[in-house]
Every structure is written in C-alpha cells, then in structure tokens.
Amino acid sequence: MQANQSYSKKGTIRGMHFQWNPYMGKMVRTLSGHMVDLILDIRKGSPNYGKMIAYEMQESDVKEYDEWIWVPQGFAHGNFFIEDSKIEYMCSGEYNSNCESGISPLAKDINWSLCDKKLKNKFDRISNLTKLITDKDKDGFSLEKWSNDERSNNFIYEKLKEKSYRLVENQK
C-alpha cells in the first residue's frame, strides 16, 4: 500500500508508533548501516501485552539475501541505530495522521523480559547518552497511560485476532 525510506544517524532512537483506521502492518529492512528494530505488543488482553522484543538487522554484503522483519497490526514499532543507517519499510495501510499514536520507548513500564539482554543493554547505553530522539517520541505515552486512553480500545486482542483470521480466509 505504501513504501517509505528513512535515514537515521548513529544513536538515534525512534518509536514506538502505531496506527488504526486503517491498521498498519509494516515490513522493515536495513538498506545500509546497523539497526535494532523494536516491537511492542499493545493488544489489550494479549498474553504478551506490554512486552517488547528487539531484533538486530545489520546490512551485510556477505549475505545472498536481504532480511526483513514483519510488524503486524496491534504492535507498536520503533528502532534504534548502532551506525548511520538507511531503512526501508512497506506498510499495509495508508498513513492517517488522525489515527496514530505512540508509546515512549523510554517508558519505565515496558516489559523487556522477552528481549535479548545484549540488545536491551545496547538500548540502555544509547538511551542514556543520546539526544537524537524527538520530543514526540520521548514524551509519548507510558503503557499505563495508553491503556487508560479510550483509543487503546482499538487494539483488543480477540478483535484483532478475528480480523486477521477473516483477512486470511478472504485471501484463500
């Protein structure tokens, strides 16, 4: 539906962004540099609600293929950069600025228990040093404040699961 490309300097932190109306899934890859992708489950009622994972994606001339990561609807997306990097992402919906929000990647109530400890340590080092984070991202919701916002009801686990199932069935 929509393709984007962005450039970030070493030490930049972005996220945790999400959209609804339409919901937006994203396929992301690193074109150059070294990125760590962050994915946060924001589906109310999900067994993994509030849990963050990180996935390291470094550009390599040695690999015979480019690696992509899929961020489905119902998950907030962000990243941080180990090197100056260029990334590309394909979105399953058109951007709607009236139906977007974000949780600060610095929010203290995010559960990092599913995250590789080495990647969490890299995030902590960068977040303690960097000034390369927008006010919008730094001052985003905490998980608790977002869950108390009525718009968070657009992300109910069972409803999204049913919507995804219908989408798959319609494609058969």
Known catalytic residues are: 17, 89
CA 86-87-91 angle, 5° bins: 150
Which one-letter DSSP state was computed for residue 123? H
Check if the beta carbon of residue 44 is closer than 8 Å to that of residue 152: yes
**Residue 46, phi then psi, degrees to nearest 5:** -75, 145
CB 97 within 8 A of CB 16: no
